[in-house]
Amino acid sequence: MVVDLHVHSTASSDADFTPREIVEMAINKKLWAIAITDHDSVAGLEEGLYWGHKLGLEVIPGCEFYVEHMGKWLHVLGYFMDYKNPEMISYSHKIVEDRKKHVKKQIKKLNDAGLFVEEEMLYKETPNPMLHTFSEVVLSEPRNKNNPLLKKYREMDNSVVTFCMDWLIPGKPLNAPQESPQAIDVFRLIRNSGGIPALAHPAVTLTEADDYIIDDLIKHGLIGLEVYTSWHNEENERHYEIYAQDKELVLTCGSDFHGALKPYAKLGEIKNNSYEVVEKLKKSNLTTNRHSSCK
């Protein structure tokens, strides 16, 4: 009874497979449940849920939100949300529009650093450019071929993601700052949509010394912590296992599957991915909603 609770479809713009294709792949891999968690988008959920129901796979409606909290850039997963909630749909549309407005600023930042990137290149890749899109264009543009900044990345198997993490994510040297939604507001959005929040791959944007930030998120309703993920090494896993158990959080599991962008992230291939995780999340959701309705 294997699950994968962090999966991206083409609705994320940086993934390769449609929701239907993901459902079919999950069934072929004998998974019992998946969560489709596209970036700030619920656009792929209706298709995913339809094919999950039709073909016999439990598809959990989810979303991965980019947020800020206490000065840190974080990824928050929402599970079991009503993806037709008007507030959720409005939020997704706003994020896409804000991202489009930010494109020119990010291009200028890269151009000023001597890297060739043009708007039409980005939109050729996707109608919704994200930071990974910038990374891909920078590395594929012939005029950047001899740029010494890129030399080491050309020898890497996972060059697009690595360059993005080193240079383009918030706080890195080539990132054009953009105001991010606050985690507390996104928690409220998830709750208003009937869902529960979990923190994705904490070791990506936090260090062990930043556990106080997760402590604060717990005060605002954090339920799950993605301990088992393609992003974490054994040391990360051990630290967050102990932390999550101590704080009585649900230890979640997700590959962060995209396809070619992250070839090391294989659908369903993560540790401790028993269906028991889904049952714990469902129980937490019922308990939390019951308490909320009594207030």
Tens-digit pLDDT profile for residues 263-285 = 999 999 999 999 999 999 999 87
99, 130 in Cβ contact below 8 A? Answer: yes
What pLDDT does residue 205 have?
Answer: 94
- Rounded to 5 degrees, φ, ψ at 144 are -95, 5
Q: Position of tokens 């450019």?
A: 129
- The token pair at 168 is 């383009």
Q: Is the pLDDT of residue 286 over 80?
A: no
The single-letter DSSP state of residue 259 is S
What is the pTM (predicted TM-score) of this model? Answer: 0.92
What pLDDT does residue 125 have?
Answer: 85
Under the banding of pLDDT at 50, 70 and 90, the label for residue 126 is confident
Q: Is the pLDDT of residue 158 over 90?
A: no
Q: Is the pLDDT of residue 295 over 90?
A: no
Buried-exposed string 19-49: b where 16+ CB fall within 10 A, e elsewhere = bbebbebbbeeebbbbbbbbbbbbbbbebbb
β pairing state of 72-79 and 58-69:
antiparallel
The predicted model gives 5-33 an average pLDDT of: 96
**Half-sphere exposure (Cβ direction) of 100: Cα atoms closer than 13 Å:** 11
Domain 2-85+180-293 architecture = Alpha-Beta Barrel (3.20)
232, 240 in Cβ contact below 8 A? Answer: yes
What pLDDT does residue 207 have?
Answer: 97
- DSSP annotation string for 160-212: HHHHIIIIISTTSTT----PPPBHHHHHHHHHHTT-EEEE--GGGT--GGGHH
Q: Is the pLDDT of residue 160 over 60?
A: yes
Tens-digit pLDDT profile for residues 204-248 = 999 999 999 999 999 999 999 999 999 999 999 999 999 999 999
Give the whole-number percent of the chain exceeding pLDDT 70: 97
C-alpha distances in angstroms, 259 versus 3, 15, 21, 256?
17, 6, 12, 9
What pLDDT does residue 237 have?
Answer: 98
SS3 157: coil
Domain ranges of the chain: 2-85+180-293, 94-168
Tens-digit pLDDT profile for residues 48-102 = 999 999 999 999 999 999 999 999 999 999 999 999 999 999 999 999 899 889 9
